[in-house]
Structure 1
Amino acid sequence: MVKERIGFIGVGLMGHGMAANIVGKGWPLTVMGHRNREPVEDLKARGASEAATPRELAEQSDIVILCVTGSPEVQGILQGPDGLAAAGKPLLVVDCSTSDPSVTMRLAAELAPAGITLIDAPLSRTPADAQAGTLDVMVGGDPDAVARARPVIDAFAGRVMHTGPTGTGHTMKLLNNFLSLGYAAIYAEALALGAKAGLTPQVFDSVIRGGRMDCGFYQTFFKWVLDRDPNAHKFAIRNGLKDMTYLASLANSVGSSNPVGAAVRNSFALAVGTGHGDDYVPMLTDAVAELNGIK
């Protein structure tokens, strides 16, 4: 069986591992580079080709996977002057970014007359899982389009959940990130309060770890808190703020109050505003401690 040609834009922290699994498992792969050449050169050494523009990549692809920051980047790649749509050919586009669901649904409707099918397949877990091919993927789209994309998604996924029509994957991703970023904000505040009251992170961990409030995210988060492992969870605080902003937009669009979401967003906004935007999410603990005059 001849495998479809795959294009991949966004070979960063998550995308590099995903693309490596795709090309390593036998799909013809074309990638588009960005500022960091190292992952592109690695993928080319594994057998991938490189395109200079989204349009050129589309001309060489049947299915295109996007793993970029958010909706503005996705829209530019799809509809820009040298974008995917400019190639003038049918494509299946799989958006693995964390995007605004309302924008995803609008883009899907706008692109459909040109023969471009857009489905959303945002990710959960870490860059290490991307390398291992064990990501969680939430897929929103028409069942036939999802079935066509599924073998490629399976190359980098451990679990794949079909959430419903296009846009529902991004909705579920925002809810997933609300939970994880909410935990991050709570951990950071609890640790700072404990430190002010004389409790060390080690004492805090001895009580929580192994108890009912322990979880996989807690354990990853505390690899930074206790071991100062900078690779524990490589997801930037400014991206957390972006996702919580998308969540606020989603809440407004459906007429739902989200007071806790607003508080979590404010925690991340304070961290970005005090110069911690490029730090990773577990480092929110340092930002909150700094605001409280402690280390």
Structure 2
Amino acid sequence: MERIGFVGTGLMGHGMAANILGAGYPLAVVAHRNRAPVEDLRSRGASEVPDLAALARASDIVHICAPGSPQVETVVDVLADHMVEGGVIVDCSTSNPVSTEALAAKLSARGLHMADAPLGGTPVQAEAGELAAMVGATEDVFARIEPVIATWAKSIVRIGGPGAGHKMKLLNNFLAMGYGALYAEALALAEKSGVGTAMFDSVIRGSRMDCGFYQTFMGYAVDGNRQAHKFTLTNALKDMTYLAAMADGAGVANPVQCAIKNSFAMAVNTGGDGPEDYVPHLVDFVARANGIARD
């Protein structure tokens, strides 16, 4: 079987790695200061290596779950120096497609392969092996990595060549973050106009305007559950910044996306930059900007 390496066993990566192990693949993880997920994976049979160079030498296929392109580029630079020819690096982060395409060309010149498989879903779905994967890879590389991805994803779609998966993920997040920005402004207006959050929710919930994203967003806005949707405001802003670059590269006017990006920029730049400041908390920042005190 292919030997799998994993970089980034955090909220999403831990569940993914556990499912790879559960399917019988040999798995190596790199040492990390966050010991809990590493120790859990070791207890399931994973091997721990001291650094990225050792991980590269121990792996045929390496998964990366990182915050964004700068971190991915740093990891790939090290892996590329130590992987055996024919190795595959799979970036499961939400990254800048321009960077992904450049990395793919760089790796190809060294006899290595780049694929992108950004995720759709939650940490709960990662643990259950029920994520969605939007894959950018050549056909032959996709055929090789698909069985591994199938251990942690229920839905797998090859979008196109390297970088195409990241383009699709940014489009997906454009819609999701757009919902968040709309909901936050609608709730501010509901409060200031006298309709109120509870009444607004009673009308929208169960209507044609309802959806899964609405329900997790309102899990905080209505019920006060800070853990209802664990995707940070900083990641939302990062993704919308990448999407703006993607639109610029394609020569597409994107005024709506610019407004969405600015909503999240306002939140991040006025205090919403912590590791537990999540997308539904945008409602607080929009309310505060409009002089509304939320309980």
Give the TM interval when normalised to the shorter protein: over 0.9
Question: 2:66 maps to which residue?
Answer: 68
The alpha-carbon distance between structure 1 residues 292 and 33, as it changes in their structure 2 partners (threshold 3 A), is: farther
Matched, 1:40 2:38: yes
Matched, 1:270 2:244: no
Query: What are the within-5 Å matches in structure 2 for residues 180-195 of structure 1?
Result: 180-195=176-191
Matched, 1:9 2:7: yes
Matched, 1:178 2:174: yes
Aligned length: 290
> Residues of 1 paired with 2:203 and 2:56: CA distance?
53
Equivalent of 1:56, from 35, 42, 54? 54
> Percent identity over the alignment?
56
| Structure 2, unaligned runs of 5 or more | none
- Give 1:19's aligned amino acid: A
Equivalent of 1:139, from 135, 142, 151? 135
| Structure 1, unaligned runs of 5 or more | none
- Give 2:84's aligned amino acid: K
> Residues of 2 paired with 1:208 and 1:287: CA distance?
22
Query: What are the within-5 Å matches in structure 2 for residues 167-246 of structure 1?
Result: 167-246=163-242
> Residues of 2 paired with 1:116 and 1:128: CA distance?
32
> Residues of 2 paired with 1:150 and 1:44: CA distance?
24
The alpha-carbon distance between structure 1 residues 34 and 290, as it changes in their structure 2 partners (threshold 3 A), is: farther
**Structure 1 segments of 4+ aligned residues over 6 angstroms from their partners:** none
Matched, 1:260 2:256: yes
**Is the contact made by 1:9 and 1:33 (CA closer than 8 Å) also made in structure 2?**
no
Query: How far off its partner does 1:134 sit?
Result: 0.7
- TM-score, scaled relative to structure 1: 0.96
> Residues of 2 paired with 1:191 and 1:7: CA distance?
44
> Residues of 1 paired with 2:224 and 2:47: CA distance?
37
- TM-score, scaled relative to structure 2: 0.96
Which deviates the most, 177-186 or 218-227?
A: 218-227
> Residues of 2 paired with 1:270 and 1:35: CA distance?
32
> Residues of 2 paired with 1:189 and 1:179: CA distance?
16
- Give 1:85's aligned amino acid: A
> Residues of 2 paired with 1:127 and 1:252: CA distance?
32
Question: 1:85 maps to which residue?
Answer: 80
**Is the contact made by 1:11 and 1:33 (CA closer than 8 Å) also made in structure 2?**
no
* 1:25-50 CA-partner distances (Å, limit 9, x unpaired): 21111112433211111111111111
Question: 1:114 maps to which residue?
Answer: 110
**Is the contact made by 1:140 and 1:167 (CA closer than 8 Å) also made in structure 2?**
yes
**Is the contact made by 2:59 and 2:83 (CA closer than 8 Å) also made in structure 1?**
no
* 1:90-129 CA-partner distances (Å, limit 9, x unpaired): 2111110101101101110011121210011001111111
